[in-house]
Amino acid sequence: MSFKALDRTDVEASFDELLNKNGKVTSLEVKEDLRQKGFWATQAIVGVALREIADTKGIDWDFNGTFRTYYQPGTQMSPTSATVLAGLTPAAPVVVTPKPQRQPADPQDREPIDTPATGDWKCTDQGSNPLYFKSKLKAEQARYAYALQTGVDYVNVRSVRV
């Protein structure tokens, strides 16, 4: 079976027909109507076309989580329509606090130190000679510094506070 090619005028004709007949229509109903008429119609194609058509014609709609429902002008609209929402007080604005950016370690802090103090990092690679790094580094930064200094794999480096 071969399908007819679908264009926007076909979608709009089916949309207008179902909207006039029922007073409301979903994008799923339009897609199924077009398929019954022999068109190759997918939700992706029909959904985008209906959004554009509704925006052009100023048609109200709501979304049920899967499909949009479009309402004929002058008929009973959805519970989330502008007439219902007009009586609601607006919610307080949401304040979004930006996440602090991670600061990379200063290259000088990645240099090993000779005399560690309490809180500094002791890093080793499975029992080899330990290297010590400043306490202001995080554990993973100290491990990374050790890997850079010795050339071993980062995953094999262990760190512990002195």
Which tens digits make up the pLDDT trace of 82-122? 544 555 556 666 666 776 666 666 777 788 898 899 999 99
Is residue 14's pLDDT more than 90? yes
Tokens of 43: 């939700």
**Long-range contacts from 86-92, C-beta under 8 angstroms, 24+ separation:** none
pLDDT at 13: 93
Residue identified by tokens 């499909």 is: 67
Q: Which domains does the chain have, with CATH numbers?
A: 8-79 (1.10.10.10), 107-161 (no CATH)
Supply angle C-alpha 145, 147, 153, rounded to 5.
Answer: 150
pLDDT at 89: 58
Mark 143-158 as b/e (b = at least 16 C-beta within 10 Å).
Answer: bbbbbeebebeeeebe
CA distance 161 to 133: 10
Is residue 132's pLDDT more than 80? yes
Task: Say which range, 56-65, 74-83, 126-135, has the weakest mean pLDDT.
Answer: 74-83
